[in-house]
Structure 1
């Protein structure tokens, strides 16, 4: 996913780029995009202001780069969950439950997930709609692909895999993330109940009528 404007921006060293991104992320999270200056980012990264402009063009591109870098870790987390649980399994229901539980556990322990959530919530107005749409599509891509394949194998009835992926996420891990929390994260038992019931509701809607949910993939 590359939504940077097509400008003449130096490639530069990976070390300097990492320092700039880290500094910008910290400042955007603590002070907000509008109140964070390129001067402050440069000072925190230990580089010149010119270097920041040479590498990223402007502050808007820098925000996009920060969100892209942060989202990459979250997308990798989803890919790992798919690889770990949605390729080889005996029970589709159990595989989906384990996948969601891994996503929740990984997100709860991830500073990248928390940073991404905050950036998207607070800085949405400073991010192009096309960028947000691309990010949303990227987060669903792996699940959509697997659901399409499950449909081809007769494990799910998914005429619209993209909509099915949205329903699945809304009923399971997104419902967990959206629960009010007084202190820390939800109790493990409550999380498991939300996910398990969500998966079962999803399968009631999307399991083929003539096939049991416990089918083994071919």
Structure 2
């Protein structure tokens, strides 16, 4: 089996420049927000030209999206290690998913940056950002869909369950509570998790048939 060719000096230099740009952007997004920073400011801190930043990422939103993409790659790896095959109920699955996402958010991007990400994804000023952000959501929702398929195969859910529809419904539900969590620095993860648990309990109770009434005597 042949070994992969060594990374060229030019490729290493390019990856180093990208890493410096991302680190500089993260610092500036935290300090000032998307609207108040410039490509020139990102370039100055990163030690590259503004043309280089533009060539790699196009716009400030493109840099922000690169931050999200980097974070999501790590999040998907974390979900694979800490979620896959470990839950035997929908409630446990969604709550664990939510906990992992919230913990990852705090250690990788911070609530302030995520508020900017959500705002940019729905503003409509740059359609490319919304499209690519939706693609990231697709990859996250696919984690829930895959786990629901496993629960069906293990007999924990009815065979008539539609994994894709249910997976997206549950992803959107937990995403609403995720937005609640990041909307304020004061919002506590435990409180938002309890709200999500209440949502799930209410919905699952509606989906469970009521026991048949005993025959009249």
Tell me, yes or no, whether TM beats 0.5.
Answer: yes
Question: How do 1:122-133 residues align onto structure 2 when only pairs under 5 Å count?
Answer: 122-124=119-121, 125-128=125-128, 129-133=130-134
Q: Return the structure number with greater helix share.
A: 2
Q: Deviations for 1:26-50, whole angstroms, at most 9, x for unmatched residues?
A: 3345444454333211101122334
Give the Å deviation of 1:20: 0.7
| Equivalent residue number for residue 144 of structure 2 | 143
* Deviation, structure 1 residue 135: 1.3
Q: Distance in 2 between matches of 1:72 and 1:150?
A: 25
Distance 1:131-1:184 versus aligned 2 partners, 3 A rule = same
**Pairwise CA RMSD:** 3.7
TM-score w.r.t. the length of structure 1 is 0.66
**Structure 2 counterparts to residues 1-218 of structure 1, below 5 A:** 11=11, 12-33=13-34, 35-53=36-54, 56=56, 58-59=58-59, 61-83=62-84, 87-88=85-86, 91-92=88-89, 95-96=92-93, 99-100=96-97, 102-103=99-100, 106-107=103-104, 109-112=106-109, 114=111, 117-124=114-121, 125-128=125-128, 129-157=130-158, 159-172=161-174, 174-175=176-177, 177-178=179-180, 184-186=186-188, 188=190, 190-191=191-192, 193-204=194-205
CA contact (8 A) 1:28 1:36 kept: yes
> Which piece of structure 1 moves more, 36-45 or 198-207?
198-207
Q: Structure 2 unaligned segments of length 5 or more: list them.
A: 1-9, 211-217
Length-normalised TM-score, structure 2: 0.66
Q: Alpha carbons of 1:96 and 1:201: their partners in 2 closer, same or farther (altered >3 Å)?
A: farther
- Flag structure 1 segments of 5+ consecutive residues without an equivalent: 1-9, 210-218
How many Å separate the matches in 2 of 1:38 and 1:14?
18
Higher relative contact order (CA 8 A, sep 6+): 1
C-alpha displacement of 1:153:
2.7
1:113–1:162 Cα change, 3 Å? farther
Structure number with bigger Rg: 2
Q: Deviations over 1:162-217 (max 9, x none)?
A: 221233234457436526987723374x45543433343454466799xxxxxxxx
